[in-house]
Amino acid sequence: MLQERLLAILERKTHWAWPHFAEGRIPLPRLKPHFQQEWEVYVRDFPILLARVLGHRPPHDVAGMLAANIYEEQTGGVSGAASHPELFLRMMEGCGYSRADFERVQLLPGARAYREFLDQASWGKPWVVGAAVLTIFVEGSANERAELAALERAPQTDDEIEASLRKHPLVRIHKLDPKFLELQRVHKKVEGGHRRDAWDAVLGNARGHEEAVASALERALELWLGYRDDVVQACGIAR
C-alpha cells in the first residue's frame, strides 16, 4: 500500500542532532545557520515550488487544492495573517536576527543538493511525483501518522493552540515572546486541511506511478539527511 510506504519513509525523517535543537542545548545565536538554510532551501520559495506543480495541469480538484495552498503560503489570505515567508522573517526578528541576515544566504553543499532536487521534482513530470515530494515530504514530519490520526478528531481550540506554543523550544527555552510564533499558529489553524488534501491528491492520482513516488521520497530523505548533517556542523554540533 502506497500510503504505508510513504508513512514509513516519513517516520525516518529524523536526525540524530534534533535533541540539540528541541532541548535547547544550542544558544540561539548559534542557530542562525539553521534558520538561514531553511529560508534559502525552501521557506522563501515554497509557494513558487508549488506553483510549478500547478503548472503541469493536474486534475481540477488537485489544481484547486494547490491554488488554495499557494494563496495561503504567498498571501496569508486564508488565515488572515501574512505570507508565510513574511511570518518566518518576523519570527527571525523575534529571535534577534536581522532581515539582512537572510538576504544573501550561501547554501551549504548538502543544502544545495537538496534544493536542486526540490527544483527538479517541482519542474518534472509526472506532476504527482513533485506534489508528493513537496506536500507529503517537505511539509510532513516523522510524526505524520499521529498527526493524520489527530485530524479525525475535533480541531484544536485557540486556547489549546496557545498552550502548545508556550511549549515550543523557542518560547520555553529561549524565552521568545509567543507573539512571534504566528507562523506556527497559522499552521495549526489551517494546515490540517492541507494535509488531508495533499494525501488525497497523491494517493488518488498515483496509479501507475507508485514506484516513482516512493523512490522520489526515498531520495528526498537521503538528501535531507545530508542537508541536516551540514547544518548541524555549521551550528557547531558534534556527536
Condensed to tens digits (0 to 9), the pLDDT of residues 150-189 reads 877 777 788 888 999 999 999 999 999 999 999 999 888 8
Q: Are 223 and 114 in contact (CB under 8 A)?
A: yes
State yes or no: pLDDT of 121 exceeds 90: yes
Q: Mark 29-38 as b/e (b = at least 16 C-beta within 10 Å).
A: eebbbbbbbb
Domain count, the chain: 1
Please give the grid coordinates belonging to residue 80.
Answer: 488572515
Q: What CATH number is attached to the domain comprising 96?
A: 1.20.910.10
Let me know if residue 220 belongs to a domain: yes
Residue 21 has pLDDT above 90, yes or no: no
Domain housing 142? 2-234
**Cα separation of 121 and 127, whole Å?**
8
Task: Quote the CA–CA distance of 100 and 88 in Å, as a whole number.
Answer: 14
Please give the grid coordinates belonging to residue 239. 556527536
CA–CA gap between residue 101 and residue 98 (Å, rounded) = 5
Q: Given this model, what pLDDT does residue 191 score?
A: 67
Q: Is residue 7 part of a domain?
A: yes
Identify the band that residue 149 occupies on the pLDDT scale cut at 50, 70 and 90. confident
Q: Which three cell numbers stand for residue 224?
A: 535531507
Locus of grid cell 544573501: 104
- Whole-angstrom CA distances from 35 to 137, 232, 235 are 19, 11, 10
End-to-end CA distance of the chain: 36
| Closest-CA residue to 192 (of 238, 154, 230, 137) | 154
For residue 239, tell me if it sits in a domain: no
Q: Is residue 139 part of a domain?
A: yes
In a domain, 230, yes or no: yes
- Tell me the pLDDT tens digit for each residue of 183-196: 999 888 876 667 88
- Measured between alpha carbons, how far is residue 123 from residues 15, 128, 134, 177 in Å? 28, 11, 12, 39
The answer to whether position 164 is within a domain reads yes
Residues 6+ apart with CB under 8 A from 18: none
Q: Is the pLDDT of residue 139 over 80?
A: yes
Domain membership of residue 31 (yes or no) is: yes
pLDDT tens-digit readout, 40-89? 999 999 999 999 999 999 999 999 999 999 999 999 988 888 999 999 99
